[in-house]
Structure 1
Amino acid sequence: MAEKTEPTTRATQDSYIRRNFISECRDSRIVVEAHLSPNIRRIYRRHFDGLSRAVYLLRFYSRTSRINGVENSLTKDISDLMDEVNESLRKKITVAEHILANNNIKVTIPQFEKLNVIIIDPLANRFLQTIKIAQDLDEKLSSLWLACVLDDEQRMKAMVEIESELRSIQGKSRTISLGLRDRVRSQQSTSEQAAEADSADIAAASTDEGELDEETAETNKTIEEAAPARKPKKTSKDVKDQGEVEVEESSTSELKEKEDVAA
């Protein structure tokens, strides 16, 4: 009975966790404003939604799996990668500012179109802040390009490097979330197979017992049919009665013979 109840209980718990998780994400989302240049906006559209989905699934499967500490460990890995990318971008900004200062180039603050970004996870917000750092670098690179300090090829190469670093965050987040998903599904499949195997063993044992009972009954029937009929053992009374009958029959025969002679 326990083997049949456990999968149903596990499925009910998973459904409960799923509903609560979706409700939490739906109710906890926020909107953050961002002003992005055309180049950074393209990068944002290519990678931001992918990262948001990846970290969403990561947290979902972390809670479904009930593996101790897995959520904190995996989110820390993503946060550490973001810190590395932020540090790399800031170093490039420092170099760009130094070149701008040496060439007496003043950077104006451009007015880009406002973009409302929906945030469903803290890691998505952190990724947006990384995109904003990339936006700062792009503005300085544009000023150097307009001042002819950078040519088209140099600026294009710099933008490719920026996108590559941002893409690495999204790519690693996706790899981590898919790896956790496969791990959780494998565990669930193993548990279900074990439960099915237990049920099959119980059913097989019941079938074997039934077949054994039928075989025993058939054997007993065969023995009864093959056994020779035994005569009941005579008692002393039966022997006495039989003797009297034989004597009576003998006397009757002798009397009949005498009557025949007299005639």
Structure 2
Amino acid sequence: MRIDVLTLFPEMFDGVFSSSILGKAREKGIVSLQAVNFRQFSTDKHSTVDDYPYGGGGGMVLKPEPMFAAVESLVPADGPRPRIILMCPQGETFTQQKAEQLSNEEHLIFVCGHYEGYDERIREHLVTDELSIGDYVLTGGELPAMVVIDSVARLLPGVLGNETSAVTDSFSTGLLEYPHYTRPAVFRDWEVPEVLLSGHHGRIEAWRREQSLLRTLKRRPDLLEQADLSTKERAWLQGLREREERLMERPSAHKNEQGDK
């Protein structure tokens, strides 16, 4: 995969692109990573990339000319058009499913803005996707782009040491991942669950599935609505919900009885 990032601060990506798993993937030739300063595509003597907004208002707006020229320099005229991703708080919320979709592409271009925003013609006529990593605003699109790039690149074949790691990650199956344990088997009187020491793969897989369901029910019950669950699993979860509701009702009922007395 080839990944290009258009930014006013390419030095921000030096450490990210050369360290840890991304750095190793780059060394292996699995992914090509490049940060490009789109200021070099400005045509005036001051290398201007932003201007005051028409109609007034605070802040500066990124001009369309440098951004279009920068993208066009990265895309062959006769080649396929890559996904051009605008990092923006107004965009589609980034998810694991979106990461899996993007990991099938051969070329991605990320557009990182600063200042007040983008000229609307960049949104309408240049980019293919607008992505947000959450409902908050940062000073620029660089940090969100790093998050998305890391999430996408780790899904490429050969990037992770264990190819099954990405398959069992939280959200990849629609559920949160099960708990993990390692040596020692006992630490400060806290023991590793016995089933994990049994060597019985069937029991271990069943335990992990159950734990994944329990953790999702507790922490992100909203995910269960779209998860791929069996009829038996849905009935089991419903029983847990009903039991929890009964337990929550008992203290209030007891309190009312005391009040009536």
Question: Per residue, is there more strand in 1 or in 2?
Answer: 2
Q: Which range, TM-score by smaller chain?
A: under 0.3
Kindly name which structure, 1 or 2, has the bigger radius of gyration based on alpha carbons: 1
Q: TM-score, normalised by structure 1?
A: 0.22
Question: Per residue, is there more helix in 1 or in 2?
Answer: 1
Higher RCO, Cα 8 Å, sep 6+? 1
